[in-house]
A and B are shown apart, each in its own frame.
Chain A
Amino acid sequence: MLAFLSKRIALLAFTMLVVSALVFAAFEFTPGQVARKVLGPFATQNQVDILNEKMGLNRPVIVRYSEWLGNTLTGDLGFSTLYKTEVNSIIWDRLGNTLLLAGTAFAVIVPLSIILGIAAGMREGSILDRSISVGSIVTTSVPEFASGVFLASIFVIWLGWLPGTSSLDTGAGWSLWQQLILPVTVMVLYDLGYVVRMVRASMVEVMTRPYIRTAVLKGLSFRAVIMKHALRNAMIAPFTVILLQINYLITGVVVVEAVFAYPGFGRMLLEAALSQDVAVVEAAALFAVLVSVSTQIAGDLGYMMLNPRIRFS
């Protein structure tokens, strides 16, 4: 167990190292461009050269990468050329906002998809099963920006019940929760389908097992069979899937934050990438990988605990 964990953490560190080197290399085309972006199109070549000198951009890649790596390891994430401030002074707020959005979405997705998946999977092929399955396929197939457009035209433009942008600024008269409803709904609709299908598939499989037949034949009520015998066994396989879903949530966050102008991590990443702000993109990419890989590790560990037949070495 401990050996498994340390091996996975070492792999995580290695992955992050590779990722950071890749991002660094990706932005390494013409070093002059960073200074050019900062100074704007009317700066003279001389000014650009001076800034390059000052930012140390004229030194070899390896030197700058190892310097960046050293700084990052000591907690200094560098200077953002887009936001004109330390990366550390913006990224934590943004991460907090995104945590609020993604956390709320996750808190809705997990129970809802388990209930729907079990309701669909307990009687395979029933009308309820078919409607939940087809319904979840449809919601998962609508891109987030499209469902954002659909929901906004109903609830913002037509009914006027909710705000169209979620800047988290309560000055305009919309409470924090009202601002969260639409972005969270869009994420839930898109991410729900996959987990529902996994829970359903697992439930369908469990329902064919001999111990379920035994439980039915010994005269237990359908309800007792589901609650006491099927539920726990059906939850093992989807557990990992639910944690892997966090990876999709990160992707969803970038789109949803762009749709609703939400001041989160995803929009920061997009804006930074559009203006070649290496420091912010590096930090954001590392966080994204850290979150997705550590949830994968947590998924494996949880799987191991739920299913005593599996032991990793």
Chain B
Amino acid sequence: MANDGVLALTWNRVRLLKESPVGMIGAFLVLFWLFVAIFAPWIAPFDPNANNMDALIDPTPSAVNWLGTDNSGRDILSRIIWGSRTVFAVAPLAVLCAYAIGCMMGLMAGYYRGWVDDLVNRISDIVLSFPAIVLYIIVIMRFGASANNIILAVIFISSPQITRIVRGMTLELREREYVAAAKMRGESALYIMLVEILPNARGPLIVDACLRLGYTTIAIGVLGFLGLGLPPPDPDWGGMVKETYAMMSIYPHMSLFPAAAISSLVVGLSLLADGMREISIRD
């Protein structure tokens, strides 16, 4: 199991994505938002938190404010552009940390089995028996609303799910010849888990990570919408909908545009995951 092979195989997979139209649409949507997030300061026409009270006379879309302004006279286009930064700063970091913990727990449970497995399973069972939203509400209420706490909550909720997937794959992969060969060579358990088992479990994990990024984006949006998200005034898509939802009957554009923004990103991530799954079934 040479390491350079892993990179080459991953790249092959990316190239194969061209054959899945659905996956390409997903990749396009995700790359579009990634581009917007990276270049936000240069793309956004206005300061996302600047209040233009004159615009409140007619906050609907115009030549100056392409998507109109919100209830405080802030340019919606600029807020959506800056809001993409919030998502791309919080979601990948949260998913990455959840993966670090979930992979380690899953590998240990599947590799050592016995009491380690039992302990990990009991903990996962308890966390998973909570409906996610109840956990989110309690974690955010206890520790307050901030980017760090949202990340903590996502790690807490996602890592047991990742643990289950990794454990299942480890149970299967630990019986392979190359694992037996590594044991024979006298490699440490940590080496076997991280170098022999984990890279061979990557297919389903990449697809899951992509879907999980989508769920996490939804979770960030939902927390914002419920008033448990990032503190104002920094733009976040869920919070933008919450602030303007009460005015929907007069100015629906204020809620519609941020709702469309978050939906298009999550749809993109899900389609990308579907495209990758399609490819992984083929080879």
* Residues in chain A within 8 A of chain B (CB atoms): 11, 15, 18-19, 22-23, 26-27, 29, 133-134, 137-138, 140-147, 149-150, 152-153, 156-157, 164, 247-248, 250-251, 254-255, 258-259, 266, 269-270, 273-274, 276, 281, 284-285, 288-289, 292-293, 296
Quote the shortest CB–CB distance from B128 to chain A (angstroms).
8
Whether A143 touches B221, Cβ cut-off 8 Å, given contacts A137-B271, A274-B141, A289-B130, is yes
Contact (Cβ within 8 A) A19 B131 = no
Residues of B within 8 A of A29 (CB): 142
Residues of A within 8 A of B225 (CB): 143, 145, 255, 258-259
Q: Is the interface of B mostly helix, strand, loop or mixed?
A: helix
Quote the shortest CB–CB distance from B13 to chain A (angstroms).
19
Contact (Cβ within 8 A) A281 B248 = no
Quote the shortest CB–CB distance from B32 to chain A (angstroms).
15
Residues of B within 8 A of A19 (CB): 126, 129-130
Residue ID in chain A nearest B141 by CB atoms:
A273
For chain B, the bracket of interface size reads: 35 or more
Most A CB within 10 A of own CB, among B22, B139, B238, B259: B259
Contact (Cβ within 8 A) A289 B129 = yes
Q: How far is the CA of A147 from the CA of B260 in the complex (A)?
A: 9
Q: How far is the CA of A22 from the CA of B238 in the complex (A)?
A: 28
A-B contact pairs, 11 of them (CB 8 A): A15-B125, A15-B126, A19-B130, A141-B214, A142-B263, A153-B248, A157-B252, A250-B133, A255-B133, A289-B131, A292-B131
Q: Is the interface of A mostly helix, strand, loop or mixed?
A: helix
Residues of A within 8 A of B195 (CB): none
Partner of A153, one of B134, B256, B271: B256
Contact (Cβ within 8 A) A164 B249 = yes
Contact (Cβ within 8 A) A142 B267 = yes
Contact (Cβ within 8 A) B222 A145 = yes
Residues of A within 8 A of B226 (CB): 254-255, 258, 270
Quote the shortest CB–CB distance from B64 to chain A (angstroms).
23
Q: How far is the CA of A168 from the CA of B263 in the complex (A)?
A: 29
Residues of A within 8 A of B218 (CB): 141, 143
Residue ID in chain B nearest A254 by CB atoms:
B133
Q: How far is the CA of A152 from the CA of B246 in the complex (A)?
A: 12
Residues of A within 8 A of B256 (CB): 149-150, 153
Most B CB within 10 A of own CB, among A27, A137, A269: A137
Q: How far is the CA of A146 from the CA of B133 in the complex (A)?
A: 17
| 4 shortest interchain CB distances as A-B pairs | A146-B259, A250-B131, A251-B133, A26-B142
Q: How far is the CA of A96 from the CA of B132 in the complex (A)?
A: 21
Quote the shortest CB–CB distance from A152 to chain B (angstroms).
6
Residues of B within 8 A of A153 (CB): 248, 252, 255-256
Partner of B138, one of A137, A144, A259, A285: A285
Residues of A within 8 A of B197 (CB): none
* Residues in chain B within 8 A of chain A (CB atoms): 22, 125-126, 129-134, 137-139, 141-142, 214, 218, 221-222, 225-228, 238, 241, 245, 248-249, 252, 255-256, 259-260, 262-263, 266-267, 269-271, 274
Residues of B within 8 A of A258 (CB): 225-226
Q: How far is the CA of A243 from the CA of B270 in the complex (A)?
A: 23
Partner of A145, one of B133, B134, B238, B271: B238
Residue ID in chain B nearest A274 by CB atoms:
B227
Given A19-B126, A22-B138, A134-B22: 15 more A-B contacts, CB < 8 Å: A26-B139, A137-B267, A137-B274, A143-B222, A146-B221, A146-B263, A149-B241, A150-B259, A150-B260, A164-B248, A164-B249, A248-B131, A251-B132, A259-B225, A273-B138
Quote the shortest CB–CB distance from A242 to chain B (angstroms).
16
Residues of B within 8 A of A255 (CB): 133, 222, 225-226
Residues of B within 8 A of A145 (CB): 221-222, 225, 238, 241, 259
Quote the shortest CB–CB distance from A30 to chain B (angstroms).
12
Quote the shortest CB–CB distance from A73 to chain B (angstroms).
20
Partner of A293, one of B129, B214, B245: B129
Q: How far is the CA of A289 from the CA of B129 in the complex (A)?
A: 6
Quote the shortest CB–CB distance from A114 to chain B (angstroms).
21
Contact (Cβ within 8 A) A144 B222 = yes
Whether A143 touches B262, Cβ cut-off 8 Å, given contacts A251-B132, A276-B141, is yes
Q: How far is the CA of A288 from the CA of B132 in the complex (A)?
A: 10
Residue ID in chain B nearest A11 by CB atoms:
B125
Residue ID in chain A nearest B245 by CB atoms:
A149
Whether A26 touches B259, Cβ cut-off 8 Å, given contacts A250-B133, A255-B225, A269-B134, is no
Partner of A141, one of B129, B132, B269: B269
Q: How far is the CA of A11 from the CA of B263 in the complex (A)?
A: 38
Q: How far is the CA of A265 from the CA of B76 in the complex (A)?
A: 33
Quote the shortest CB–CB distance from B236 to chain A (angstroms).
13
Residue ID in chain A nearest B222 by CB atoms:
A255
Residue ID in chain A nearest B273 by CB atoms:
A137
Q: How far is the CA of A201 from the CA of B232 in the complex (A)?
A: 43
Quote the shortest CB–CB distance from B112 to chain A (angstroms).
22
Residues of B within 8 A of A143 (CB): 218, 221-222, 225, 238, 259, 262-263, 266
